[in-house]
A and B are shown apart, each in its own frame.
Chain A
Amino acid sequence: MKAKASDMHSKDCVKVAVRVRPFNKRERDAGSRCIVSMVSNSITIQDPRDSQNRRLFCFDYAYWSHSGFVRDRRGLFVPEEPGGRYADQDSVFQDLGEGILENALQGYNATLLAYGQTGSGKSYSMVGYGPNKGLVPKLCERLFEDIRENQETRQCQVFFSMLEIYNEQVVDLLSRVSRTPGGLRVREEQQRGFYVESLRTVPCESASQVAQLMEQGTRTRTTAATHMNANSSRSHMLIILQLKQIFSKESITKQSNINLVDLAGSERQRSSGSEADRLKEGTAINLSLTTLGNVISSLADAAVGRKVVHIPYRDSVLTKLLQSALGGNSRTVMIATLSPADICYEESLSTLRYAERAKRIQNRAVVNESPTERLVKELKAENARLLQRLSRLGQEGRRANDETSKTFK
């Protein structure tokens, strides 16, 4: 079942969807219990050790993909009965993918963020499996379809790049040359915004070509992770689809980026300064004095009111690269994926909390206007003058009327 938040204004901040998957084999064998339930767009999670302890969360979308489905002849997982509560890949795409595509075609940036512990169904939602294609391939198919259909009115170019951010270092996942020590540089220019210097961008002409590149990048990511003795779940992965549309008749060019982000989700990892960490709930104590800076920053951060101060190193590489995506006319969607099983309670709860905080991520750029007191004072004086004049005029007018009426008596 999918549910929409009814009265949401089209706010700039992130729209958040949560999806819960069926049990996997391991969970079934272990005789797992489902501890997640959904009603409309709210989701409840129950502590397996304390049935009284339930937490309720509300999101823009809540997708029940845990039960109530069958596999049809084409191999697609669909609801058991029409109108059933099972949310299939199509309905997820309709809610989340369509908007992103539409925005990109209008010439605005769009971002899809995915978050969830390893094995929570994140790849199924993003990439899919077999005929059950996920958000990214569907998005690409529709994008190239739209490009073909509108060939007469506009010319389009699509560029693909794929990178990984590990420990604040950027690694090109499509690069054929060996990696640069220290990672690639993130720069910023007036016309381009933030970008990764000398990142490989590959022109693409079809969805299948994109799929191929994605596979290539994913392979590089896995080998790189093994190489660094690191788990890939500790790094962010970012795919950038650049769309350039040239309308020759009107002689305008529209350029937009579609960012597809796989957020680092390992709950065990501690304070690498990544975006995911920043949103994590923190009552735990940082042990090392090397994190003193974070503690002080958060104090200063919390104290920022009307005063504007400078807090060094607030923005992570990911935040920078997504800067233009987190405000203004761009659209940002997050999908958080959950396991339904009791054994995953802690991880699932923390995913839900993360998703809740994500609703509030926003590019903070407030317009600070000066007080209007002087203006108000001037205007009040002017109004008074105007009123006075009008009332005088009114009297004169009446007098004139009186005189006129006298004359015509």
Chain B
Amino acid sequence: MKAFPSLDPIDGQDSPMTFPPVPSAAPYGGRRAAAATIRLPPPCSHLASYHSTDGSRSLRSLHRCLSVRPLGRAEVRRDPGEVPHCAACPSANGPRLYACLACAAVHCPAHAVAHADAGHEIAVDVDRAELFCCACGDQIYDLDFDAAVVLAQAAAAPLPERPRPPEAEEGFRKRRRMESRPWNPDPVERTVIWRGSSPLYVQDENFSHTADPRLPLGLRGLNNLGNTCFLNSVLQALLHIPLPRNFFLSDRHSRFICEHRSRRKKDINAGEQQTATLCLSCDLDAMYSALFSGDRKPYSPAKFLYSWWQHASHFASYEQQDAHDFFITMLDGIHEKEHQQFEPHNESNIIGTGDCCIVHKVFSGTLRSDVTCTICGYTSTTYDPCVDISLDLNHNNDYKKCARTSSHICNGESDGTSTLLGCLDRFTRSERLGSDQKLFCQNCQVKQESLKQMSIRNLPLVACFHIKRFEHSPQRNMSKKIDRYVQFPFYLDMVPFLSSSILRSRFGNRICGIDDRDSDVDMELASEFEIFAVITHSGNLDSGHYTTYLRQNNQWYKCDDSWITRVSENTVRASQAYMLFYVQKVLHCNASEIVAAS
């Protein structure tokens, strides 16, 4: 093996990849790395002394000695046909070979340790481009070396088209993180508030149930109008989310104003009698007024059902519907009415970005999809808005991936419990598209086998996860439900599934960032979520029942149509989740404080 040409100038491109790529399910790397920021451990004494003798410069210049495979894996450059072997025991190749940084001699681990005299302690793994301290006998990490690797990777990668991530689009405001400050009104503001608002509770002997101050405001059962538990369960989950609740309670969509506007339209389009009263937001506004009126008798969302059936007419039948389908059409119905209030020419810029209506402000996130050519590594990236994430339940189970193989918890789960994290892992895993699904590569100018990987570019304020329990098989013309328990955490850190983390791990989790617009750490600050509501489905496909578990003021309530009861945390953890709602922690901690009745 050539000595490291650390002082030679760069001459031309790295030689093209000589060996066929190793087929693998994931490109280089892919272990799930959870935390946002890297914590570099202090260097061992040998690395420190290497640095002190101008080691930084030579480490950084090592990029010339590295070659990078199409999918990003870095290794020490070698001549075509050259097979590295240990200088002391040439017959054995071994899985690990180390090249000394000082003299470029290659040894197997055993002989590398023997070679480690003064100045020769640091070596590099020839196949993996990882530093190794032969004196300490352990793999070590160094910023300068990683910088060299990243530089080599950047040089080798075919220039991708640069898609404009959503922020570059006009009208998309980057969500800034602001510190929450308490606000207390001064006397003038207090008067304004008093004059401009109406009390939530009517002090009436009929409403004696409201005497208990511990019961959350706005909590009321919803009457089942005939197989409408799918509707009730979704409403209970949505109505109590702080953002929409505050939106409607502060009159941001008043049914009195909206109806006037529609009525005026009605005069213009004579004969459109029904659509004048079709506004799901107005019905929600009415619902909020009813919920917070102080009356604790169950509420009948009849008008809402009526409006929804007009909006989504293919669902207008007296049979059990799927709660998730309803959720999507409901959001769509609210969005449709809300964003009509904006000027038409603004529509194309802001739809789906979160500025168009309350539902997108709450639920809208952005997914990033990367398609990589397995031959040349060219990656094409697209961004798509989403309001929720639907997760498949594998036929095999989604084991939670453990970095620590000795963890007994992981081994204890050998019965194979599916977990939400496991499903998300699979969702963001690099997937090799079949040879029958070759995609056109801009670089190669032919159709090639590709890898596809999803990641989350922008997190929503409320993350909704939908577990796909209902399987429809068109071949056998039959549907069935998957009853398997799916474990879900109460606290969820979404960092491992962000585009920044996925990208970083795709290129080997190097210390310094790779050059990509999605590598900003900013995104990772608002990645912590708390469970807010769980919609469960019990029974089978034809005759099932939806209920919602709702978390208010650190207490769990079960919303079973008209019945609101208290349940323990254990009941919720053990339930069969169908839809999960997580709220960003920064929002939730303020919202869940008990409002003192004054």
Partners in one complex: no
* Residues of chain B having any CB pair with chain A under 8 Å: none
* Residues of chain A having any CB pair with chain B under 8 Å: none
